[in-house]
Structure 1
Amino acid sequence: MKKSERINQMLRFINQKQQFTLRDLMQEFQISKRTALRDIASLEEIGAPIYTEYGRYGGYRLLNQIPLPPISFNSQEIYILYFAMQALQSFTNLPFQVSFRTIHEKFINELSENQRQDIERMQHRVSFRHTDQIKDSAYLEVLLMAAVKNKVLEIEYQKEFQKSIRTIQPISVYPMKGYWYCQAYDIQKKAYRVFRCDRITSAKTTNMEPIKDLNEITIRNAQSLWKPSEQAVQFKCMINHAGIEQFQQEHYPSMKLTYESGTPYMVGWYEPSELEFIIKYLAGFGKSIKIIDPPILKEKLRQYFRDLLNNV
């Protein structure tokens, strides 16, 4: 990192912390003690009101906040932001309903001529493959803000030909294979569920007290909360290397990979109402898996392929 860029970031760092030590600067910016001392001198030269506190618990104090310079990005950061911008193209719906075109135009207009030319050349050298969003999701912002602010929602959920009113506490939202999904706690069922966001036809905030423990849950650890019901069916499939790669690309909270004497297996559970879903999921593995248990799953998968052949 160039010194001018580091000084710029350091201004923001000390403006936020107000009190800091040499060790803070050394750890934050991965610099030596000598460089940290020189940088503090440079900050003082440009007018940062830094006061030195001596003694065992001494350090530095910013006497008052200082005006910060505009944020600037180097070329590498510009390219990273451009790649991130391209990811937005996959979604016709985004939380807060911000269109890709508006953001993209503002981004391009702020670039220098050289940076703009580099981006234009990059468009012809990098191929961005997108999964188009299959259906619109009207309540993404409501679901996301309920997760952020720890609110309980009443939603109307349309699944196939059935509508139901559900009371949920959203945990997170995420896109996958052209759809948006919401991980949430179903208040009535007292269980964790995943809702397809395009099937939510209405959503409104309630006055119900949220479950406090859910406030600490993030999208990374939410999967561990999904538990099978008493009616859930356990399954086990032998899986080869190609199947493992496919599993890593797409799997669900109710399943995992295990090894027995060096042999890999996919194990998990499904609810009786999810039988058709699990059959279609396993069918996608083709010859990469072999169902071990339960026997009914083997027969249902055979029947699935027989039906496919009858339609050829």
Structure 2
Amino acid sequence: MKKNERLNLMMRYINNRGFFKLNELQQEFHISRATALRDVADIEAMGLPLEATVGRGGGYAVMPNTLLPTIRFTHNQVKALFIAFMASRNQQLPYLKNRQDIVEKLLGLISPVQQEQLLLLDNLLVFEGTNPLKPALLELTDQPQPQLEKLLTVSLSTRQLKIRANGKKYKIYLKHLERANGKWYLDCLDLKQPQRLIIAVAAIKAAVPLQPSEQVKTTTLAALFSKTALNPNLILQLDARAIAQYKKFHPLPYKLTYVDPFQARAQISEHVAPEGDKELLINWILFLGPGCHVELWPKSLAQAYKARLKNELKR
């Protein structure tokens, strides 16, 4: 990276944080301490006011949004933005109400030659979410469930919510909003009867923040999470073939953890409830194919799996 590029990026880095230390710049930009000191001096000379503090908690403080250079994108960066936008088709992303409006604004910022290149890219590249009947980016609509944006807006103020779904009322702590198999789900903790819940966003009829008097303290939340954490009794080892199958379909809440830097091997570690749907789980394990190796599973599930194979052999 050239020095002027590094300085511009560094100015945005420190401005976004408001306070930083030299070792943070060294790690982020892979530079020596001497280079970091010279860069900070150059940034101060450019007019960005920095205040140095000494001591164990010392560092540099910066006044936000002061004398920052205008943001500019290179040709390749514009292409990268456009391609990323194309790749998100049919993902039901929140806040994305009008793709055409966003694309027209993006096209309006660039030259006719670049516009032509982006339109060619749109015809050349086909992503997994592309609608074969309407492959053009400007024609595609992919609105999420209306409740998704409301949930996100409410959750930005607090994750402790009161929701109504499937004819029941819940007081929850929202851990994550997840998209899996083309649908959005809440991964949350039931605060009344401490247990993990997976609720489809489409099933939610109402969601409001819990009143401050109803909210659970942070220490209590930590205790509830510890109480509901169960030791895994299902461990699956996956190779590249099984990982590809997992990406096509996986039931919640089975999460993939990569065990090598090349993402060619992965592990699934979960707790299976005794009353769970064994047939669904067995079908999924078979769907993962020969690249899936069972390291650990409950005895009841193993017996059901063997019975399934015997029945298949009798046919």
Write the mapping of 1:157-172 to structure 2, written as runs, cut at 5 A. Answer: 157-158=165-166, 163-172=167-176
Residue 181 (str. 1) matches residue 185 (str. 2): yes
| Residue equivalent to 2:126 | 127
| Residue equivalent to 1:212 | 218
| Residue equivalent to 2:305 | 298
* Cα pair 1:243 1:288 within 8 Å, conserved: yes
How many Å separate the matches in 1 of 2:149 and 2:184?
Answer: 12
| Residue equivalent to 1:107 | 106
TM-score in terms of structure 1 length = 0.66
How many Å separate the matches in 2 of 1:157 and 1:122?
Answer: 43
How many Å separate the matches in 2 of 1:265 and 1:52?
Answer: 47
**AA of the residue aligned to 1:6:** R
Greater CA deviation, 53-62 or 115-124?
A: 53-62
Alignment identity in percent? 20
Mind listing any 5+ residue stretches in structure 2 that lack a counterpart? 132-140, 258-265
Q: CA deviation at 1:180?
A: 0.8
Residue 143 (str. 1) matches residue 154 (str. 2): no
* Cα pair 1:14 1:20 within 8 Å, conserved: yes
Q: CA deviation at 1:195?
A: 1.4
Q: CA deviation at 1:190?
A: 0.6
Q: Helix, strand or coil for the counterpart of 2:86? A: helix
**AA of the residue aligned to 2:243:** E
| Residue equivalent to 1:195 | 199
| Residue equivalent to 1:284 | 287
* Cα pair 2:50 2:62 within 8 Å, conserved: yes
Q: CA deviation at 1:210?
A: 3.6
Q: Deviations for 1:250-284, whole angstroms, at most 9, x for unmatched residues?
A: 46546889xxxxxx997754331534542442353
How many Å separate the matches in 2 of 1:149 and 1:157?
Answer: 21
Q: CA deviation at 1:185?
A: 0.6
How many Å separate the matches in 2 of 1:152 and 1:120?
Answer: 45
Q: Deviations for 1:154-203, whole angstroms, at most 9, x for unmatched residues?
A: 32323xxxx32222221111212211111111123311122121122332
**AA of the residue aligned to 1:37:** R
| Residue equivalent to 2:136 | none
**AA of the residue aligned to 1:144:** L
* Cα pair 1:242 1:288 within 8 Å, conserved: yes
Q: CA deviation at 1:241?
A: 4.8
Larger strand share, 1 or 2:
1
| Residue equivalent to 2:117 | 118
CA radius of gyration, larger in: 1
Residue 153 (str. 1) matches residue 158 (str. 2): no
Q: Deviations for 1:215-260, whole angstroms, at most 9, x for unmatched residues?
A: 89xxxxx9x996459xxx95688x7857643565346546889xxx
| Residue equivalent to 2:137 | none
